[in-house]
Amino acid sequence: MYETLRQRLINHYADMALNPATLEQARLRASQLESCESGLWSGIAMQIKEKIDEKAQQIQTKGN
């Protein structure tokens, strides 16, 4: 399936955030993208958070 760069980054940083070893790096990069003056990445931090919640729910559902 075709995936935009934005979608790919959202998935990538959500995966990183679910790993304690890379959580801080994911937070830093999301913050850097969000603060980009171009406005291109506006709202990406919230989209990453939503994807994290979605992935965490999937993990929890698989565990039960």
Q: Is the pLDDT of residue 1 over 60?
A: no
Q: How many domains does the chain have?
A: 1
| 0.85 surpassed by pTM | yes
Task: Please give the Cα distance from 39 to 49 (Å, whole number).
Answer: 18
pLDDT tens digits along 6-64: 999 999 999 999 999 999 999 999 999 999 999 999 999 999 999 999 999 998 888 76
51: containing domain: 5-63
pLDDT at 23: 97
Say if residues 22 and 52 touch (Cβ distance below 8 Å): no
pLDDT at 3: 77
Task: Please give the Cα distance from 39 to 43 (Å, whole number).
Answer: 9
